[in-house]
Structure 1
């Protein structure tokens, strides 16, 4: 098996970091991935819940196109995206 293959079961623990502004988005397992009908990764859907009171906070989601994913390391997924380029929704 190739060393370049990453399994989701391992990657779900990886922390997502945006190097553009230093924001952290928890681990992949607490977020979502959108895959098209051909099996290509299209989007990361990141939960941007900044509140410490998660029970009362409204969740905001950020859509990160896969082309903004720059590196998948041994414990992190590095994205490089300016905030104004990302779609936000509730």
Structure 2
């Protein structure tokens, strides 16, 4: 059986906030790798785009979850992070 993710459910996503240093370690990125155009997808809460941009990289972050209205994102985030009582 193949799992089909429900892209409308936040619980189907792993939220991570990785730094440029972590991405360098994971993907063995060099300075040369940061030269050119980079698409950070899904960008999520990671600081990679901001940090790489500060070094002169041309980076665009895109994450489909952020197409939702702010109130819906707020509710989804709360439901995923606040323990049930």
TM-score by length of 2: 0.21
TM-score by length of 1: 0.20
Q: Report the structure number with the largest CA radius of gyration.
A: 2
